Structure 1
Amino acid sequence: MKFIKNYKSSLLLIIATLVGGCIGLLMGSKAAFFAPFGDIFLNLIFTLLIPLVFFSISSAIANITSSRKLGRILIISIIVFALTAIIAGIIGVISFRIFNPASGLSMDLFKGLTSDTTAQSTNILQKLVSSLTVGDFSLLLSRSNLLALIIFSILVGLGTMTAKDEGASFKAFLNSSSAVCMKIMNIIMFYAPIGIGAYFANMVGQLGSQILEGYLKVFILYLIISIIYFIAFFTLYAFIGSGKNGIKLFWKNATAPSVTALATCSSAACIHVNIEASKAMGVSDTLAKLLLPLGTNIHKDGSVIGGIYKIMFLFVLFEKDITMPSSLLIILGSGLLIGALVGAIPGGGAIGEMLILSLFGFPAEALAIMVVIATVIDAPATLLNSAGNTVCTMMISRFTEKRT
């Protein structure tokens, strides 16, 4: 009974996901009937997302008493996120090189998918600028400009922190608003089992009939690598974060973030769950509220592996060499750029895919191939991107708050 009481919410999410998946498999495309029920859940979360991110980040920074401490946190965060991305990228290159799921395939398999697809040029630098900043305050009130909102929230937090006594009332407002947003999210999460179950049923129902042989091989390889990375490397990261006790804390609280990531395929939708899980893993409230929204945009281990798989899949398909060390290094570097940097931009997935076309000179029809690959690996990629934020936060906490 104690076990059920402690893990009641997690068990409900698991059961809802399994039931939704079974319904999707049985009903196929007819499972689209459940889409509105899943959309209600996601719409509620996304509606709250803007104030939640703004007040969480702003209040977290405003409560930091030392600007030197903030700088230390951000520097260590970037180092941790970068190192885990490099490790993920190396694993992606090696695993694809060994198992090569695209072996034996040809472009003839994909003609039906690529006939209406054209590559469009885009100004990558201009897109980066427009994603980092917006021209009007009202444009911040949209999750399509989430990165710009995070930057603005950091500035507000810094302004409040440096204002000291003069900003005390505003800091109290930020803290109160952050607490209210968290309570609202708790209320929304009562609907989570129904919403996640419905969303998962629709996703499985729609995706099940669209996977071709090549995509299935990529999906299976990606899934296996994701499971290995999740179990082995996240356990290692948890040990680095807080020793043997860190491993226990991570696995005790990893269920809700993992299930939510798999079911929603949205890192943004997992922010609240990840914050609560990180705090249960021993991370301070201030650090959790600062790093989890930040990690949603810049921690992209799953996207790094996915980007590398897309590139190597096309290399094999268009008969380019993936055996030369120089080619593998270029692929690794491109995967890190596309997964970790471009992936942080709203709509960055499409930009990353067009960047691949530009960097390697692939024809226009390759764009549709990458879109399908991105679709079939979306769930496990989100798991590594989002649920991995919690264990990375544990490591960052270890080096910034002197945890043992």
Structure 2
Amino acid sequence: MMKFIKNYQSSLKLLAGIAIGAIIGIFFSDFALLLEPLGRLFLNVVFVLIVPLVFCNMTLAVANNQGLDRIKKILRFTLVSFLLTTLTAVVLMYLATLIYNPFETIDTGQFTELMDQTLNADSQSLAMVIVDTLTVSNFLDLFDKSHLLSLILFSLFFGLTISSVGEKAVPLTRVITSVNHVIMKMITLVMRFAPVGLGSYFAYTLGNLGSKILGGYFKSLILFVIVCVIYYVFILSIYAYIGGGTSGLKCYWKNIFNPSLQALGTSSSAACIPVNLTALERIGVPEDIRETVISLGANIHKDGSAMSGVLQVVLLFTLFNRELDTPLAALCIIGGGFLVGVVMGSIPSGGFTAEVLLVSLFGFPVEVIPVLAVITTITDMTATVINSTSNITCGMMVRRAVEKTYYKQTQLPVK
């Protein structure tokens, strides 16, 4: 027992913090709302460190790489794994809604007030949305956490350029390496505050969420949680087994709890980048693979958000009396969820952008957007757990595909 406590003390501290936060959020919601500044303080510090961490990691992953062919292979297998796992997630959620549609018997009157809150959303063409997602017009905007995908692309280009320069760029590489070590040390120190910070933010989230879980929303949340548990326990275990065999699966479960708790407490894929990198390092995934998969995955690979997107489309179809079980409906629902999880997750300061595109895509009135936004709100915590942990299993599978061998667990401690 003492050995278990010693090995998992950081996970147990996080769990205790989140458990206390849950109790406060559920039973003392008014007090929980007062804890938002404490939780935001922790998240803000993490977000500040995320930008230099991503820049250094992605630049070094390319600059120190064994060759351009390897980084191309890593990127190719990364994108393939993202595509297949997200498709699996949305199909699973769609099948679940066919078995039980949580909105089938809802009183649509409860949505009247929300639908009357017309959203004056600026619509953009899909082409311009993609341009604004991949690029920025100002160099300093790269170092805003809302533009992480642009920063990743710049870092890849910067790393390739360093690699092409050769010996003349060695001093710069050393400087970036030193900065990376310092940032990682800062993150280690900040994470000591995680039980308090995560617990406070989790309490605030639950306290603020209570009034939103009503009627059909509550049923949809229950269905979503059930499907996510199935995905988390079984589907992700299959991915881990594919990536590492029996030993890889055991190692995965030994190192997954901190990332899961971080995701649950913060509801932010970006905030999970440091703990996910550490988890993959302990599992034994090489540096260039884990940095590429985790940095990209936090932006464009969100299986949980994709499943939430399926619920949004099902709600739309139910409210406007469209069939769910026809081949065309299946394609629309699966495609809509895929759009939310893969494309919309990376849009800077997107806000309601995903919902705007969904209603535009299917021809629904813009007034329904606030109704969809509630789905995003109530599923956010659970979705982020899936978003974060699925990136870890993708890292394992990419490692398996690139190096074509299973691997042994590293000797790093679990704590």
TM-score by length of 2: 0.95
Distance 1:344 1:169 in 2: 33
Identity %: 39
Unaligned runs of 5+ residues in structure 2 are 407-415
Unaligned runs of 5+ residues in structure 1 are none
Show the 5 A alignment for 1:4-403: 4-118=5-119, 120-123=121-124, 124-348=126-350, 350-403=352-405
TM-superposed deviation, 1:274: 0.3
TM-superposed deviation, 1:119: 5.0
Secondary structure in 1 matching 2:46: helix
Distance 1:99 1:116 in 2: 29
> Cα deviations across residues 6-38 of structure 1 (Å, max 9, x unaligned)?
100000001100000001111113311111111
> Cα deviations across residues 271-329 of structure 1 (Å, max 9, x unaligned)?
00000001111111232222211110121111111111100111011111112122111
Are the structure 2 counterparts of residues 399 and 72 from structure 1 closer, same or farther at C-alpha, using a change threshold of 3 Å?
Answer: same
Distance 1:198 1:107 in 2: 34
Distance 2:18 2:24 in 1: 10
Distance 1:385 1:185 in 2: 21
Distance 1:189 1:121 in 2: 38
RMSD: 1.2
> Cα deviations across residues 184-220 of structure 1 (Å, max 9, x unaligned)?
1001101111100111111111111221111101100
Distance 2:237 2:214 in 1: 34
> Cα deviations across residues 333-361 of structure 1 (Å, max 9, x unaligned)?
22212321122222345211101111111
Distance 2:322 2:78 in 1: 36
Q: 8 Å contact 2:201–2:265 — kept in the other structure?
A: yes
Q: Give, as a single letter, the amino acid of the residue that structure 1 aligns with 2:140.
A: S
Distance 2:97 2:312 in 1: 10
Distance 2:172 2:166 in 1: 10
Structure-1 residue corresponding to 2:411: none
Distance 1:365 1:105 in 2: 19
Larger mean Cα displacement after TM superposition, 358-367 or 308-317: 358-367
> Cα deviations across residues 106-137 of structure 1 (Å, max 9, x unaligned)?
43111122322225241132122122111121
Q: Give, as a single letter, the amino acid of the residue that structure 2 aligns with 1:53.
A: V
> Cα deviations across residues 140-178 of structure 1 (Å, max 9, x unaligned)?
121111111111111111111222222211111121111
Distance 2:343 2:4 in 1: 41
> Cα deviations across residues 40-79 of structure 1 (Å, max 9, x unaligned)?
1001001111111111111111110200011010001111
Provide runs of 4+ in structure 1 moved above 3 Å.
none
Q: Give, as a single letter, the amino acid of the residue that structure 1 aligns with 2:363.
A: G
Distance 2:120 2:388 in 1: 30
Distance 1:386 1:214 in 2: 27
Q: 8 Å contact 2:301–2:341 — kept in the other structure?
A: no
